[in-house]
Amino acid sequence: MPTPDPWSGFTLDPRRPENAAMRAGDRDRALVQQVLGEAYAEGRLERDELDERSEAVQRARTLGELVPFLVDIVPARPVAPKPALVQWGPDEVRREALRRYDGERRSAVLTFVGPSLICWAVWTATSWGPDGFEADFPWPLIVMAATLFHLVQTLVQRRERVEGHMKRIEREQAKALRKGKWPPPGLLPGGF
């Protein structure tokens, strides 16, 4: 599968004039080699073109020298990125926390329904004997009780769980800011 936006994989965007003179790293050259290999696999490059470009990429010293190898293979402008986590205001944080809780609730429902159905099917199948249906202790009730406890706990603690997700999202934002991931490459502060 083609790399969707190889430009964001560089240490610095090589298309920007202020980054063009920066030294290219092994990771930058490996990224270009990967994109060239994908283009060859898709039939967009001939074998001799791949070999020629690959050799030249290994000799490239600066980020700016890598751009010509990709401009006719990948789009110059990436698809508009999803708003970065650190751009989220209180409303977006709450929406994301609710989305995460909904996933948690769905998982709890499936964890209750799936194993319960399987256990009852096994119990029913193993309860048939030579003399017909011989019901023993309905052990699937134990599985149902345990998984139902988790489901009820998830439903009852909705507010606490949403608040917990909000706190985690805020910590993720703070961590992204500390690591210098703000502003994200290609975005201006406050812009989407």
Percent of the chain beyond pLDDT 70? 85
What gap in Å lies between CA 141 and CA 78, rounded to an integer? 54
Same domain, 42 and 110: no
What's the number of domains the chain is made of? 2
Amino acid at 100: R
Spatial contact of 45 and 86, defined as CB atoms under 8 Å apart: no
Per-residue model confidence (pLDDT) at position 78: 52
What gap in Å lies between CA 184 and CA 186, rounded to an integer? 6
Residue span of the structural domain in which 163 resides:
85-178
Amino acid at 174: A
Same domain, 148 and 94: yes
Spatial contact of 15 and 7, defined as CB atoms under 8 Å apart: yes
Per-residue model confidence (pLDDT) at position 10: 84
In a domain, 116, yes or no: yes
In a domain, 184, yes or no: no
Residues 111-170 pLDDT 10s:
999 999 999 999 998 888 888 888 888 999 999 999 999 999 999 999 999 999 999 988
Q: What is the DSSP letter of 112?
A: H
Same domain, 137 and 167: yes
In a domain, 1, yes or no: no
Domain limit, last residue, from 69, 101, 116: 69
In a domain, 80, yes or no: no
Q: What is the DSSP letter of 62?
A: B
